[in-house]
Every structure is written in C-alpha cells, then in structure tokens.
A and B are shown apart, each in its own frame.
Chain A
Amino acid sequence: MASKSKKKKRLVIRTVVLLLLVSAVVYTIAFKDKVDVLAVGDMAPDFELTDLDGNKHRLSDYKGEGVFLNFWGTWCGPCKREMPFMESQYKAFEKKGVHILAVNIKGSDLKVEAFRDNYKLTFPIAIDKTESVKEVYNIIPLPTTFLINKEGRIEQIITREMSEDEIKSHMESIQPD
C-alpha cells in the first residue's frame, strides 16, 4: 500500500533527524572541555628537546620502546620527592627498553643543573624553554607523568606524586615484550 511505504519513510526520516540532534547534544557534552586535551589511548604528540648535555631527544626515535615522560619544576616539592625513585627505577629499566625523559618547566640552566647534581640524576633532563611541549601536552599541575607505550600511544596520565612502587609498576606497564 502506498501509505504504508510513506509511513515507513516518515519513520526513517524522523529517526534520523532525532538521532542527529541527540548526537549533536551528546557530542557537545562529551567534548566541552576536552578540545585540546590528550586522552589515554591517543598518539603521544611528537616533539624534540635538547637535554642538559646537548643530546637531542625526539619522541618518535623511541618507537618500539616505552617512555616515562615526566614534567616537573625545580620549585615543586612532590617533583623533588619522586626524583630519587625515578633515578633508581631508571637504572633498573633502562636496559629493558623503558626510558625516562624529564622535561623541566620554567627552569634556568643553572638551577636545573644544580638540581641534577644535587640529586645525582643520570636520566636525561631537558628544559622546555618556550613551553611549547608543555602547551601540546596541556600540562597544568606539576608533576605530570605520561606513560607512552611502544606504539607511541598514551598508556596512562598521572597528575600527582608517585611512590617508588607505583613508578615501578608504571614502568612495567609500558615495558616492551
């Protein structure tokens, strides 16, 4: 019957229109704050920083291995407390294919070098002078740590101080097989 097919068409059109409207609302709610914020599972944006010793570190060079990317500041207490733990785990995991890269925010060469010597840190430390890496990674609190797996994806984002055990288990989670 003609009117039956008309009814069916109307039902389809109405369903499509309502679905479009609902998805517009859901999209707006879901993405309201997350416009440029990285989420777990995203590809970690590539960057290149020069460490205190003058070596360049490009994130994409570490493909196939895990990267423990730590953002910190010399004035930040929690950052200071977790640094020695990172140092000891760095020694344990460096040969297992998990690297630490510490990115300092708003530090001067002198200050960061003094800090490194004071805490006897051996993992690479770079200063993000223009804060462009901080901007791309949308860092708000310090310390913030990104765990990046061997595919270059973000495994986890930690925005607080970590204990040594936590650091160890986090590093295990991004250890390549």
Chain B
Amino acid sequence: MSKINCQCGHENPFGTVLCERCGRPQTTEAKQSETVDMRYEGSARRSQTYKRSIIDRIWNFFSSVKIGISIIVAVLVTSAIGTLFPQKLYVPVSTDADIAAYYERLYGVFGTIYYKLGFYDMYNSWWFITLVGMLGTSIIIASVDRVFPLYKSLKKQRTKRHASFMKVQRIFGEGSSDDPDEALGKAEEKLKSLRYNVKTEEGALLAEKNRFSRWGPYINHAGLIIFLFGILLRGIPGFYVDETMWIREGETRSIPGAPGYFLESKGFILENYTKDEAKEIYGEALDRVGSIAKNYQTDVALYKNKEGGLPGQSEHRKLEKEYSIIVNKPLTFDGYSIFQMDFRLDELKAMTFQLTQKETGKSLGEFTVDLVDPEDTYELAEGTKVKLLDYYPDYDGVENGEPVSKSPIPNNPAFIFEMVTPEKPDGERSFVAIRQTLETEENAYKVNFIKADTRDISGLTIRKDRTLYILLFGGIIFMIGVAMGSYWNHRRIWIQKGKDNTLLIAAHTNKNWFSLKKELNQVQDIAHLPAYEDRLDKESTSENLEGDQQ
C-alpha cells in the first residue's frame, strides 16, 4: 500500500497512473507506451488503495467493471432463459404440484429442470432478486469509486504539465516557433472564440470545454439506481397493487387490494355496432365476422367504510360515487384505478317454475327462485305453496346418498322442492335438476321449468402504483445522463513553450476526435502552431485533414 512518489515531489496514492500534480507517467507500462489511457485521468481508483479487511475485499469485488459486466451478462442470460417457457403467472393451474406436473407434461425433461431451478417464477426467485441486487450494488460502488477521484483530479488539474505527459497524449505535436509568446496569445484568443475556458500559467495554456459531459455516465447510473429503488418500493405494502376481481350484476363486494372499499355492480353493458350506424367503416367486416363490439361498460357504485368501520359490517358503508367504467376510462379513487378488462355473459340468476297437476296438466301458479339468495317458501294460493328444502347451485351427482354441489356458482342448479297443495297437505317431495326430476314415490303434482333469467359478470382489475413517478423520475435522470455524455464531449487542448523557442501541443477528448481535430486545426491556422499527429489514427494527420476540407 505504499505511496508513489513522483519526480516532481508529489506523493500519489497507490494505483496512480499519471501523477496527480504534473502528469508524469508513473507506471512502467505508462512510461513505455506511446499513448496513455486517460480514463479517470490516470488517477487511482479508490478501491485499489486499500485491500485489507473483508469489507474492503467485497467493496473491491463490486468496484470492478469486469465483475459489473459479468453480472449484467448473467441477468441477461437468465432473463432470456426465463422467456423460453411461460412464467407461473400464465400457467392455468395453481398448486405447486400441479405447476410441476404442468411443466413436465408440456415441456418434458426441460420443463422439469426449468421448474426445479425456479425459472417458472423467475422474477420472484431469490437468485434473480439477488442478481439484480448485485447489479445495483455494482453500479453504486463502481460509480462512487470512480466519480470522486475523477472529480478531484479534474478540479485540481494543473495548467502546466510535464512534457512527458504531453508526449503520451494521443494527439501530440512539437515544433519550433518564431514567436512562441505571440502564438500562445493568438491561440488563447481563438480558443476563447471557440468557447473554450482558457487558463494560462508560465508559458503554458490549458483550454477546456464541456467538462460536465464527463458526469453523464454517473448521472445516468444514478437514474438507474432511482429506478431500481422504485421497483424495490413496490414490495412495500401500500405502494403497489395489481389485483383482479369478478363481480356479478347486483353484487356488492369488497375490492381486493383496497381495504375498506366496496364495489357494487349495477349492470354490465356490451354494445355491438349495428349495420346501419357503421356501414361505411365496418360494413365489410360486419358481413364477415357478424358483430363488432362498440362498448364494454360496467356501471358501478363505490362505497367506503366509515371511519372506524370494520370488515364485515354493512351498516357503516357510505356511497362515494357512481361511475360507468368503460375500457380505458377507469374508476379512480384514492390512488386506485379500476379498469374494465373482461366479461362473462349470461350466468343463471333466477329460474321460474310452474306447479302443475300431473293428471290434468292444470297450473297452480308460477314462482321464481333467485339462485343467489333463494327463499325457503313460495306461496302460490291459499293452501298451496312450494317449499325449497335444499338447493345445489352446481349439482354434480350424489355422493354417500347426498346430492353435492361442486361450486357455489349456479352452473347446474338442482332443487329439493316440497309441494303443498289442498289435495296433498302433507306435501310431496321432488328433486328437480335440469332435464331431470326424481321422486321418492309417485307424486300427483310436479314442478315445471318455465324460464331462466341471467346476469353478466364483469372482470375488473384494480391497480395502484405509487412508484410510477419515482420510475419516471429515474427514467428522466437516466436520459439526462445519456444526453450529457452523448451530445457533449469533454475536450482539452494543452499548449506550452518548450526549450529553445519550441512549442508543444497536445489534446484529449473522451469521444469525437474528429471534431476536436477540426477545432485544433482552426487554432493552428491562426496561431501557426506546429503540426501534430494522431497516434491512433495515423492516416488523418493535420495535413491530411486540411486536404480533405478543400
């Protein structure tokens, strides 16, 4: 961890390539090569200075750009693998065993491996979150380790550099001048008109422009970190909600993800274009496909539990607003948005029956059974009534001598009726399902199905995203950083007097060398500076460039 002592007397930290003060190359590599790597101004990366404790070792690990790139590649590769088969979210089964079986059935051995390694739910897997966390750590540490030394060395850079520093620059020229002082003066004037900041010191000049573009990459990384932070916040309750609900016409339900709020569906509307109103635009299509939807709409009422109201209480609800949810026109309240997403038409809602005498076919009256909230007795006339003893909304056969319903949804309703008539005051029992009537003994009366009423179901999604503005902010910062680093270039030109009326020129930019050389040529013309050479692009020396411009 020894310090590096430069010939000029300055003490540089370990890892320094170019002396912080005079610019003399410090490493053997830098001394021997023709040009020097000017990244981070040849300053020591912070992490290189200490390698002692375990903390420093971890810090150094994340500070490495190589490690950073490896992490990015790992994230890319795993993300790509994650798109090979569908994610868990899109798999139509829910229990773990079913999911495993699903992948095995559809994708064979690869499906099983995919499932075992956790790729089926990749974005929630511990290793993917860890990888992204490592990426964030790498971005933060690598940036901090570089931006501070770079800032310091640019801030305290000297105007007069040692000749050896000039000589290892990519653009370098040396030659005699008739009047070096006059040349310096003219160059200064011209550089100022080219909007350079010019500093002079003992026969040396440093012209610099757009230093701020060097901060572009760091600002862009800060934007990324803000973005990642926003994503992280989604895990905290109250910041992010993405839920779905199915609500039937006439139903009032608590809204998933929005505690204390209730939604009542007053009706679902599906409208199609008629031939008359849209003949011009859709006429052809209507002939082909039959119908084109014009509107999907759910009319709702939103209720809120009053202050101190508890889940389950109904008397504490108060109407907040009534609204028609249309596609792309969500119901919004308290940061939530409820969108129209899906629908199912014509679920059974009520069934109307008729009580008839079998022998004569005479009707004793009709009654309607609400399939959602049925009543237990239907009075038809004096001494005539039908009692509903039990009801199976989704009848699925008989198990252990008992009829069973496989769900609470009235897909296949079945009823046990008791028919009380003046003729049979003790009642007759009948089991009625769709297209099926069972009687324990021969009855004199029967219940006939007359008609059914249906209702529609709306599929809604509930969204809330408090992190959206953080993500937007992160995105804007990111783009500002990209623009700063891409559309502006940090350019520096050094000119200084050498021995015996000679002049040395050197120049550096972080990108767009062509424009730097163009500007340098303009200065050269006015101030009669010596010719220079671009060591990495020998074809385009100053003479060539001038020749091209004619």
Contacts and interface: CB of A to CB of B under 8 A. Distances in A.
Interface in A16-45: 17-18, 21-22, 24-25, 27-29, 31-33, 35-36, 45
B110 to A, nearest CB: 26
Interface in B19-66: 50, 53, 55-56, 58-59
Contacts of B137: 18, 21
Contacts of A7: 50
B391 interface: yes
Interface residues of A, number: 48
> Which of A18, A128, A130, A131 has most B Cβ within 10 Å?
A130
Contacts of A33: 124
Contacts of A31: 235-236
B contact residues, range: 35 or more
Interface in B52-86: 53, 55-56, 58-59
Nearest to B46: A10
A18 B140 CA distance: 10
Contact of B130 (A17, A25, A114, A132): A25
B129 A32 contact: yes
Contacts of B59: 14, 18
Contacts of B391: 108, 110-111, 114
Contacts of A132: 254, 259, 262, 311-312
B133 A28 contact: yes
Contacts, number: 118
Nearest to A19: B55
Contact of A135 (B56, B136, B259): B259
Nearest to A49: B312
Nearest to B138: A21
Chain A interface mostly: helix
Given A21-B140, A32-B235, A47 B310 contact: yes
Contact of A36 (B237, B253, B375, B404): B237
Interface in B339-386: 372-376
Interface in A44-81: 45-49, 58, 73-75, 77
Nearest to B394: A75
A33 B234 CA distance: 11
A148 interface: no
A11 interface: yes
B267 interface: no
B61 to A, nearest CB: 10
A48 B253 CA distance: 16
Interface string B238-271: 0000000000000011101101001000000000
Contacts of A22: 133
Contact of B311 (A45, A105, A108, A118): A45
A107 to B, nearest CB: 7
Interface of A: 7, 10-11, 14-15, 17-18, 21-22, 24-25, 27-29, 31-33, 35-36, 45-49, 58, 73-75, 77, 105-111, 113-114, 118, 126, 128-133, 135-136
Closest 5 A/B residue pairs (Cβ): A25-B133, A132-B254, A106-B408, A132-B311, A49-B312
6 contacts: A10-B50, A18-B137, A32-B235, A36-B257, A48-B310, A130-B254
